[in-house]
Amino acid sequence: MKITTEQLTAYFDSKGAKGACPICSTDNWSVTPVAGPDGEVQAGEIALEISTQMVRSHSWVPVLPVVCQNCGFVRMHHTFWIQKWLAEQTDGG
Ligand SMILES: [Zn+2]
């Protein structure tokens, strides 16, 4: 699944997920592009690993890293929540 940075911005806004970096107190976050299985990420798009089956069968969590552009602190968001929200928007809320 590929989503745009605009969709991610809307997601974080809807969750009130704004705020300063807990390390350096600046507020300049950037989503790190994550390549999909095909190794390609379009400009302005991010590929999410969203297979819940993979989550069940392996002990790892698919996450989207968001990086502080001042100090490099990385926060992580479970992509299932992002996928669920995007599906709700597609379904009309
Ligand atoms: Zn920081």
- Alpha carbon of 20 to ligand 1 centroid (Å): 8
Give tens-digit pLDDT for 5-41.
788 888 999 998 878 999 999 988 887 655 555 655 5
**Structure tokens belonging to residue 33:** 């592009």
- Alpha carbon of 38 to ligand 1 centroid (Å): 31
- Whether the predicted model's global pTM rises above the 0.75 cut: no
Q: Where are the domains of the chain?
A: 2-90
Give tens-digit pLDDT for 35-67.
555 655 554 566 665 555 555 666 677 788 888
- Pick the closest to residue 46 from 1, 91, 93 (CA basis): 1
Instruction: State the Cα angle at 70 between 61 and 76, rounded to 5°.
Output: 10
- Pick the closest to residue 83 from 60, 55, 57 (CA basis): 55
- Alpha carbon of 30 to ligand 1 centroid (Å): 11
